[in-house]
Amino acid sequence: MDDTFWDEADRLLIRYGTGFTPRVIERAAGAHVFDRQGRPILDFTSGQMSSILGHAHPDIVATVSSAVATLNHLYSGMLSTPVLELAGRLAATLPATLGKTLLLTTGAEANEAAIKMAKLSTGRYEIVSFDRSWHGMTQGAASATFSAGRRGYGPPTPGNLALPAPNAYRSPFRSSDGSHDWEAELAYGFALVDQQSAGSLAACLIEPVLSSGGIIDLPPGYLRRLKDMCDERGMLLILDEAQTGLGRTGTMYAFERDGVTPDILTLSKTLGSGLPVAAVVTTAEIEQLCHERGFLFYTTHVSDPLAASVALTVLDVIDRDDLVVRAARLGAQLSERLLALRDTYEVVGDVRGRGLLQGVELVRDKRSKAPADALGSAVTSACLERGLHMNIVQLPGMGGIFRIAPPLTIGEDDLHAGVDILEASLKAVLDTAPR
């Protein structure tokens, strides 16, 4: 039966990236998905890094059922109570300056809107982002994405400039004691940006923890210095917290760790816990400037009441169940387990990340740090055979990085079971590898 399914998939579907996981999924609940044969698969990716409340959370199910039956979609020029309530709830979780919200559907769409607002409010057009960035697949967001997908589509939007991502494990910028010299790296990166700029720097768009870029966590102090450098140039700072927002890193927003407030914040994935919900939040001053200059982002699903109702429920559950604190606590346990793997296995080169968004980089050996693509693929397959879904990112010049992002609601036993499976799979692959 599965062979027929995949034959039909080959015949009917447009392929849009890497190959599909070789299991046909029938349903999902909590931290597991289940294939056609009813076999449970522990989901260490929360869907597409989104379902922070787990799959089929009862509160989300109830909200969607109610909203679909009463008020799910309106003409884009109409407003409903859930949209206004969500704007107020988001503002209450953020620094006082961030009080204006635009409700959308996807992360790419939110970043498109943020980029347009930055350009319109500053009167400039250049956007700076990391060389390992991923901000979406639509034109403006894709042009600010440097980790993949740039070749073969014609010219990206003019004015997109790259800043070196501060990868402490692989950066060539080193202090005399061998530690990562991120300050020199950032200064060098902005010197290159200044040299390339046509004098029209509008904004810097970054993730506080690069996820698709290999779980690169910004060093403490980096974001503060970056904000200062943006201010010196009259640039806005846009933070894309698609994956880091709403508790995943152990704080409500990842930028809280550094005490830095962005000019524009984009939220998506986690805001809908698996459903298409996104938002742009900015200051009253930026919103006023954009409005005066004719800001237009009139999309089919802007201010949809269903999206707002779902996001409100996500915020309710996070607050009620104290999931931010829970993510920090479970994240500490996860770090301890992963660091033990690093200390045990020569091929586990690095462990990094925060809370329940962490990465494990596989290499051929710790001395060379050479990428281990085949090993990563084999371990991924071995994990799936044992009932664990893992996602590995393969980027040029880096080893395979497992992205670990289970739901914030995952049980402790399941969290540790997942790491047990990862270790068993790694050991099995190493034991059968040619000597």
pLDDT attached to residue 399: 79
Give the pair of three-digit tokens for residue 433. 């590898």
Backbone φ, ψ for residue 397 (5° rounding) = 80, 5
Contact by Cβ (8 Å): 134, 211: yes
Q: Which residues are known catalytic residues?
A: 134, 207, 240, 243, 269, 403
The CATH 3.90.1150.10 portion of the chain extends over 3-56+322-432
Closest C-alpha to 104, from 255, 234, 220, 268: 268
Contact by Cβ (8 Å): 117, 280: yes
Kindly give the residue spans of alpha helices, DSSP state H, lying in 240-322: 269-272, 284-292, 305-320
pLDDT attached to residue 395: 82
Q: Which CATH class is domain 71-321?
A: alpha beta
Classify the phi-psi angles of 136: left when phi > 0, otherwise alpha if psi is within -120 to 50, otherwise beta.
left
Contact by Cβ (8 Å): 255, 294: no
| Burial class of 431 by CB neighbour count within 10 A (0 to 12, 13 to 18, 19+) | exposed
pLDDT attached to residue 435: 53
> For residue 393, which amino acid is it?
V
Contact by Cβ (8 Å): 144, 114: no
> For residue 146, which amino acid is it?
F
Beta-carbon-side half-sphere exposure of residue 98 (alpha carbons within 13 Å)? 24
Q: Which CATH class is domain 3-56+322-432?
A: alpha beta
pLDDT attached to residue 223: 98
Q: How many CB atoms lie within 10 A of CB 261?
A: 18
Contact by Cβ (8 Å): 257, 370: no
pLDDT attached to residue 434: 67
Q: What is the pTM of this model?
A: 0.96
pLDDT attached to residue 394: 83
Crossing angle of helices 182-196 and 222-232, rounded to 10°: 30
The CATH 3.40.640.10 portion of the chain extends over 71-321
Helices (H) and strands (E) in the chain, counts: 14, 17
Render 87-151 in DSSP notation, one character per residue: HHHHHHHS-TT--EEEEES-HHHHHHHHHHHHHHHHT--EEEEETT----SSHHHHHT--SS--S
Strands 388-389 and 40-43 come out as: parallel
Contact by Cβ (8 Å): 255, 266: no
Name residues of the chain where pLDDT drops below 70: 1, 434-435
Give the pair of three-digit tokens for residue 283. 């200051």
